[in-house]
Amino acid sequence: MSQLRKSALLLTSLAITVKLAGFFREAVLAREFGANETTDGYLLAFSLITLMVAMLATGFSNVFLPRYVKDRKEDPVAAEKMASGVLNIIVSVIIVLSFIGILFVDRLIPMLFGSMDPVTEAVAVNTTRIFLIFAVIIAINAMFESYLQARRIFAPVQVWKLLSTLMAAVFALLFSDVWGIYSLAYGFIFGAGIGLIVQAAALFKGGFRWQPAISFNERSTFFIMLAPALMNSVVGQVNLFVDRIFATNTVGGAVTYLNNGSLLVSVPHTLYASTMAAIFFTLLSEQVNQRKQFEDTVQRAVMVTMVILMPISFGLLAIGQDAISFIFERGAFTAEDTLKTYQTLMFYSPIVVLQGIQYILSKSLYARRQTTLVLKISATTILLNAVANWFFVQWLGYPGLALASALISVYFVTTTSWFVYKDLTDRRYRDFWKEFMAVLVPAGLMGLSVFLIRQFVPWFDMIPSLMVILILAPVGAAIYFALMWIFQRNKVKRVISMVRRKRT
């Protein structure tokens, strides 16, 4: 078995564990605090932390990884000095910005999110201040992902995510009576601290040696490329900010409903991005100067993404309400909260496959160092998202914000795919849309079948939601596999052969 295949299996297991821990954390949050102005305030503050992690884990990696892989082949000594210099400069900037943020957080939060309920604002300000005090720990964890991935060391990255997520839930269970909702923040920081030790040990074992360097060769070029990559990585978070600004002006708990709906949607994409897609990006970075292999990897990655994620999008539509009920509906989170969350999930569901495709397409542009192009494409989504939010929130209320996100994802994928494929062989772009439609039909029929079974078999309403999921999920998988085998047998065989292949 190849090393990459072993890594993929290990990463899949760890990523699933991380997501289960995430559901455990959100279930604890729902049980202890429900869906209200307090939970809205915590989620607003936590979105700032996810913004920083996205910038440094995704945006930083998109520039650092291809550059570092290339430099290590040409001059390992200079590459290590460059890596230390980048780390030192960014950590220094984070420390300065965190100090400024601590001083002015009570003004920054209202500026970012606009008019809020007083309880929401107070919780958001206090939680953000807690995170800012320990921001450097979170930042280093996020950057270490890139350093480890460049050495094909993938597991410790999932370990720090698991620890920070799990400890947030554990602290909420143990200390919510003492610290209230702030116990989640303290637990997250505690887990991140342990995760930093784990990642640092793995990186040191992998051969990295920190150096007290600030200057490094071509630093100006690196940061010129880094700036648009960081900006692009936060476009999604900026759009999330805009969504939550609109949500705070609808009903109490709207931010929580949107958060819980988007959490379910993020699970398949996050698992895929943390496992197969991460490995595909490493391969693309290594094959960027080998046109045929690069094109084949792009096409193969997109095809696998569609085959795996498309049926999940339709499956969430069919049994998403049962999933929400099982995860969140307990304690202070009521059946009415479940229904309101499902209303957002219905519109969010297409994002599962769209984000997966977008991830591969964007990574192929990053591998070719076209960071500015990605920024130009993604930056347009901010304006479009704001306009769409304004329109749909008046028509549908807070669920309209989820619909706007789905439509923006369609635009994002369509535009990016055109730029990616125009530089590849002509037939590749036609193949992209042929494969999309070829998978869409079986996945759609599967989703419709499961939905009808759920609606018209009365005893499903008499059993626990977990039993409904355990019964209908395998039924849906079997229907999808049968339809794909009948209409797209070659694709099924190709995916199976990729899974079984001993060498990548």
| Domain boundaries along the sequence of the chain | 1-233, 251-504
Residue 498 pLDDT: 59
Structural tokens at position 258: 């949107």
| Burial zone of 133 (CB within 10 Å; 0-12 exposed, 13-18 middle, 19+ buried) | middle
Closest CA to 203 of 278, 145, 274: 145
pLDDT in tens, the chain (504 residues): 455 556 566 666 777 788 778 888 888 998 889 888 899 899 989 988 887 787 777 767 777 777 777 777 777 787 778 778 888 888 888 899 999 999 999 998 888 887 788 899 999 999 999 999 999 999 888 888 878 877 777 778 888 888 999 999 999 999 988 999 999 999 999 999 999 999 999 888 877 787 776 654 545 566 666 666 666 666 666 777 778 778 877 777 888 898 888 888 877 776 666 566 556 666 666 666 677 777 777 777 788 888 889 999 999 999 999 999 998 888 788 889 999 999 999 999 999 888 888 888 877 777 776 767 777 787 788 889 889 999 998 888 899 999 998 999 899 888 888 888 877 766 677 777 888 888 899 999 999 999 999 988 888 888 889 899 999 999 999 999 999 888 877 777 766 665 555 444
Amino acid letter, 138: I
Residue 206 pLDDT: 79
Give every CB contact of residue 323 below 8 A, 6+ residues apart in sequence.
264, 316, 465, 469
Residue 254 pLDDT: 86
Residue 229 pLDDT: 64
Q: What's the pTM value of the predicted model, to 2 decimals? A: 0.70
Residue 499 pLDDT: 56
CA–CA separation, 248 and 41 (whole Å): 10
Residue 1 pLDDT: 45
Closest CA to 436 of 318, 320, 315, 309: 309
Cβ(432)–Cβ(417) below 8 Å:
yes
